[in-house]
Amino acid sequence: MQPKAFRRWRKSLGLSQKEAAAALGLKRRVVQYYEKGEREGEPIEIPKSVRLACYAVSAGVRDYHGPPAEADPKATETSGETAHQAQYTVGKGGE
């Protein structure tokens, strides 16, 4: 992902730099570096983990709690959720 594409991603979701940073678990300054494509005059690459997080945020995923544990019938009976449903949070925008 190039700096212009990163900025386009953020703007396409209507996020401020601060909101994008919060959604990605970054500091606002890092978002600025990625959009500029450099830090202190040195080129900076957007890490694969951040690129994948951008995709996840675009798809509506706001948090991920890891793969499902082995199914515990008693746990799912009381919560009404399947093991998979409990593993990630979906939301809109900067929620």
Each residue's pLDDT, cut to its tens digit, for the chain (95 residues) gives 999 999 999 999 999 999 999 999 999 999 999 999 999 999 999 999 999 999 999 999 988 888 888 765 565 544 454 444 445 566 654 44
Note if the pTM is more than 0.75.
no
Print the domain residue range for 79: 60-95
With tokens 């925008």, the residue in question is 93
Angle at 54 between CA 58 and CA 40, to 5 degrees: 145
Mark whether 4 and 48 lie in a shared domain.
Answer: yes
DSSP tag of 85: G
Give residue 52's Cα distance to chain centre.
8
Q: How far apart are CA 94 and CA 52, in angstroms?
A: 17
> Do residues 72 and 42 both lie within one domain?
no
Q: Are residues 31 and 64 in the same domain?
A: no
Q: How far apart are CA 93 and CA 57, in angstroms?
A: 8
Question: 38 and 68 share a domain?
Answer: no
2 and 48 belong to one structural domain? yes
The strand ranges marked E within the chain are: 38-39, 42-43, 61-64, 88-90
- In this structure, the answer to whether residues 11 and 46 fall within a common structural domain is yes
